Structure 1
Amino acid sequence: MLGLIISIIIVGLIAGFIARAVIPGKQDMSILMTIVLGIVGSFVGGFLGFLLFQHDAMDGFFQPAGIIGSIIGAIIVLLVYGLVRGRGGAARRRS
């Protein structure tokens, strides 16, 4: 169980770091938030993989993905986060 948790954290860190490197601009995130980004991205990647291929090794709807799926999911999460955060910031500046 401890090995699973450590591997999820490591994959989350790698996926979050690569996603932050791929997306242009500055993201003000700590290491912990980068890990959370990668972990959430892993589940998003697993969900999208299930939707695209309709089956997986665990045969579940909500699951973690491999490293490639985690990176793709983290990029998607970071893009959505940037859009939501950008809109909120623009609305606050106009007021």
Structure 2
Amino acid sequence: MKHEFVKIIGVDVLDNYYLRVHFDNGTVKEIDLESVLYGELYEPLRDPDFFRQVMVDDEVGTVVWPNGADFDPDLLYTWDEHVKAFASQMRKVEHSCNQ
């Protein structure tokens, strides 16, 4: 699916690892990140207090946390199409790191 390049201009933290993401084209999406919070970079986001520290990086137009974890805005824009594959890949990374 082809789509325009988008930037994130706002983010609201919802319950249970959900974000409400506001894109510069007017689209707003609620995204469940729980299934991809694995690995050294993303595991800290499982702490609800840390998860709430998300902010928008205006320079690159994406969401970011204090430890440097971020998500590509195009990935978040097309989240429903890619979340299963992305979650599977993140679990594989976590599994290989724990061996």
**Structure 2 length as normaliser, TM-score?**
0.33
Of Structure 1 and Structure 2, the greater strand share is in 2
Of Structure 1 and Structure 2, the greater helix share is in 1
Quick check: which has more Rg, 1 or 2? Answer: 1
**Structure 1 length as normaliser, TM-score?**
0.34
Structure showing greater relative contact order (alpha-carbon pairs closer than 8 Å, 6 or more residues apart)? 1
